[in-house]
Amino acid sequence: MLRLTFFLLFFSTILVAQDNPAYQLYNQKGRSVKFGKMMRELRDADVILFGEYHDNPIAHWMELEILDHLDRYTLGMEMFETDEQEALDAFQANEVTVGELDSLTGGVWPNFHTDYLPILQAARADSAKVIATNTPRRFARMVFQRGFVVLRSLPAEDQALLPPLAPVPYDPELPGYKAMLVEGHGSPHGGENFPKAQAIKDATMAWYIAKNATEGVPFVHLNGSYHSDNFEGISWYLRQYKPQLKVVTITTLQQPDIDELQPASEGVANYTLLVPANMISTY
């Protein structure tokens, strides 16, 4: 009787989980797709831009699932800046601890242990290269204050941490950048430099992806969804730097009901990871 009771409880738990899934995947046209179908396209991609919600555990679990289903890959991370590559390499080689990595960089993110450490450990186990791609924050701050031109006054060793500066490609008419100037989004002190500070991050990430992309080895890049949604941001810069790359984008979105993707969210990326709006956050 005890066994039967346990079985019934276990079976009912499965049914509840099936009735209330933690995620659904949709393609660019808003149609539901299976994970295996998405993976078939991801395996043929040169670059996979995974636009995550930084505090969403389902997004980070899906990143792990994708890595697990790729034969080979290079991993790029917005969470580390280009001047932190040496420290990141040392960590991946087991030469420094998490505490030492925290002190050697600008500080690991608050949800590092739960969300990013497992991903780095997976890359270590797979002998995958991990590339720090983000702009050192001091340079983004300089652009916010004085625009792109200030970067040309940097010494050569600092310029080497950035994309080519002669000049930095920039389209202020891109909807994502224009939105930053709309009241409530931009800073009253940053003016037109506010989206430029975002653009230098997008450009740096794209440049480091482009120069580290290897034929036959998908480059999986983890970034906030706003850096690659609507095929702008990093995607736009990749088209400037290396247009021959096949880039596949994934975005993360939340809805109260995930049984159907809202029409307004269609076309944001090649694939949408849709998660319930009441999903717990990791910070």
**Residue 141: which CATH number?**
3.40.50.11550
pLDDT at residue 265 is higher than 50 = yes
Q: For residue 17, tell me if it sits in a domain.
A: no
| CB atoms inside a 10 Å sphere around CB 102 | 16
State the pLDDT at residue 181: 87
pLDDT in tens, 23-77: 999 999 999 999 999 999 999 999 999 999 999 999 999 999 999 999 999 999 9
Whether 14 is covered by a domain: the verdict is: no
Instruction: Output the pLDDT for position 18.
Output: 55
- Packing angle between helix 117-125 and helix 57-68, nearest 10 degrees? 0
Provide the pLDDT for residue 238: 98
Residue 202 lies in a domain: yes
pLDDT at 2 over 80: no
Residue 3 lies in a domain: no
Is residue 218 within 8 A of residue 38, CB to CB? The reply is: no
Query: Does residue 282 lie in a domain region?
Result: no
Would you state the pLDDT for residue 19?
65
Q: Are 258 and 23 in contact (CB under 8 A)?
A: yes
Give the structural domain span for 42: 22-276
Q: How many domains does the chain have?
A: 1
Distance from C-alpha of 214 to C-alpha of 191, rounded to nearest angstrom: 38
Q: SS3 letters for the chain?
A: CHHHHHHHHHHHHHHHHHHCCCCEEEECCCCECCHHHHHHHHHCCCEEEEEECCCCHHHHHHHHHHHHCCCCCEEEEEEEEHHHHHHHHHHHCCCCCHHHHHHHCCCCCCCHHHHHHHHHHHHHHCCCCEEEEECCHHHHHHHHHHCHHHHHHCCHHHHCCCCCCCCCCCCCCCHHHHHCCCCCCCCCCCCCHHHHHHHHHHHHHHHHHHHHCECCECEEEEEEHHHCHHHCCHHHHHHHHCCCCCEEEEEEEEECCCCCCCHHHCCCCCEEEEEECCCCCCC
- Is residue 167 pLDDT above 70, yes or no? yes
> Is 13's pLDDT higher than 70?
no
96: in domain: yes
Nearest residue to 273 (alpha-carbon basis) of 90, 78, 127, 62 = 62
> What is the chain's mean pLDDT, rounded?
92
pTM across the whole model: 0.91
Q: Does residue 281 lie within any of the structural domains? A: no
Per-residue pLDDT reduced to its tens digit, 243-264: 999 999 999 999 999 999 999 9
